[in-house]
């Protein structure tokens, strides 16, 4: 696993730290997925116990939150007061202790438990802490859904389709077959749209979705986001979302988009390369994406817009 540290940060300082560790080769040593949840093996139970024992060896560290998955773990460590050595020393001790115990209990003296290094994120605000805890607690469900539907969580580079504008390198993530649906409807909602116009537009969208149409948009404006929420709240209906920046190497859709992807009801498209930096969402970029949406939908009279 590639290590990530905050440059210049003092890892002996008080604070919350989100830690991710993976098994060697992502081997499912710690358990298995059943009914969209992780059921821990003996090794997984050992990992969970050893994690909470960190506080016994280092009273200044609280093992705040933890979820153990078949091939990785996410945990939050709270350093309550300045510690004499960097947090990484404690994490290496935890990894070593787990490895030593599992080699004995499993009768495998050469067992390699962990991948190299670990990933950490310094939690800088209470809102981020709430989000990290929510992510951790929901991780078993999302992980098991990805395992159950691997074909729906695949990024395809150099995507080819007669419906995609030519001359660009498109990347797709999700259900690629949505591009082949007979009715793709471009969705555009002006920020100046009135409440009455938006309400009428939602009613129109609901009818089209019920008839099997796929809504296509960057879903950027507040009204467009409401349309996306409307579709996601139904037992049917699909979205093709144009992403205004590229896909990170380990990209996964977040929140309700993740669940929609797991149901085969989402395709995310982007012609942009991932730069690792937040891209400015300029007016020109928004207009360009709307033009691409029109091209994808064929400009064949399926337009849906609220002005």
| pLDDT value, residue 18 | 94
Higher pLDDT pick, 1 / 184: 184
pLDDT-derived band of residue 76, with 50, 70 and 90 as boundaries? Answer: very high
- Is the model's pLDDT at 202 over the cut of 70? yes
**What confidence tens digit (pLDDT) does each residue in 115-167 have?**
988 989 899 899 889 989 988 999 898 888 888 888 889 899 999 898 999 88
The kind and range of the H/E element at 256 are helix 255-262
Query: What are the extents of the domains in the chain?
Result: 15-148, 152-306
User: Do 59 and 7 form a contact (C-beta atoms < 8 A)?
Assistant: no
Q: Class of 15-148 per CATH?
A: alpha beta
Q: Indicate the pTM of the whole model.
A: 0.71
Bridge partners of 63, per DSSP, are 77
Q: Can you list the pairs that 274-282 forms with residues at least 24 positions away whose Cβ atoms lie under 8 Å?
A: 274/245, 274/246, 274/247, 274/248, 274/249, 275/245, 275/246, 276/248, 278/245, 279/244, 279/245, 281/220, 281/244
**What confidence tens digit (pLDDT) does each residue in 6-63 have?**
667 899 999 999 999 999 999 999 999 988 889 999 999 999 999 999 999 999 999 9
**What confidence tens digit (pLDDT) does each residue in 211-254 have?**
889 999 999 999 999 999 999 988 889 999 999 988 988 899 98
- Is the model's pLDDT at 1 over the cut of 70? no
User: Do 72 and 21 form a contact (C-beta atoms < 8 A)?
Assistant: yes
| pLDDT value, residue 304 | 57
Query: What topology does CATH give the domain 152-306?
Result: Rossmann fold (3.40.50)
| pLDDT value, residue 179 | 93
pLDDT-derived band of residue 301, with 50, 70 and 90 as boundaries? Answer: very low
> Counting runs of H as helices and runs of E as strands, what totals does the chain give?
8, 13
**Percent of the chain residues past pLDDT 70, beyond the cut:** 95
| pLDDT value, residue 159 | 92
How many C-beta atoms surround the C-beta of residue 59 within 10 A? 11
């Amino acid at each position: 696993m590639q290590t990530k540290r905050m440059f210049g940060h003092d890892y002996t300082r008080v604070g919350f730290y989100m830690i991710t560790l993976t098994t060697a080769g992502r081997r499912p040593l710690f358990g298995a997925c059943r009914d969209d949840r992780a059921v821990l093996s003996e090794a997984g139970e050992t990992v969970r116990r050893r994690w909470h024992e960190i506080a016994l060896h280092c009273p200044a560290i609280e093992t705040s939150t933890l979820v153990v998955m078949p091939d990785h773990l996410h945990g939050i460590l709270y350093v309550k007061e300045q510690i004499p050595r960097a947090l990484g020393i404690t994490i290496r001790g935890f990894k070593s202790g787990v490895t030593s115990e599992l080699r004995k209990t499993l009768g495998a003296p050469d067992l390699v438990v962990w991948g190299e290094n670990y990933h950490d994120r310094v939690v800088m605000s209470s809102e981020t802490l709430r989000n990290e805890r929510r992510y951790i607690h929901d991780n078993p469900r999302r992980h098991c859904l990805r395992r159950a539907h691997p074909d729906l969580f695949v990024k395809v580079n150099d995507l080819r389709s007669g419906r995609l504008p030519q001359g660009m390198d498109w990347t797709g993530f999700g259900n690629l077959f949505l591009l082949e649906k007979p009715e793709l409807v471009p969705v555009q909602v002006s920020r100046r749209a009135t409440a009455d116009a938006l309400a009428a537009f939602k009613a129109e969208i609901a009818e089209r979705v019920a008839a099997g149409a796929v809504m296509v948009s960057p879903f950027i404006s507040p009204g467009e986001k409401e349309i996306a929420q409307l579709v996601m709240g139904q037992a049917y209906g699909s979205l093709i979302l144009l992403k205004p920046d590229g896909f990170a190497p380990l990209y996964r859709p977040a929140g309700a988009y993740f669940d929609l992807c797991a149901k085969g009801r989402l395709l995310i498209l982007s012609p942009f390369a991932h730069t690792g930096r937040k891209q400015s969402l300029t007016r020109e970029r928004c207009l360009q994406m709307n033009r691409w949406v029109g091209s994808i939908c064929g400009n064949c009279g399926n337009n849906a817009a609220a002005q």
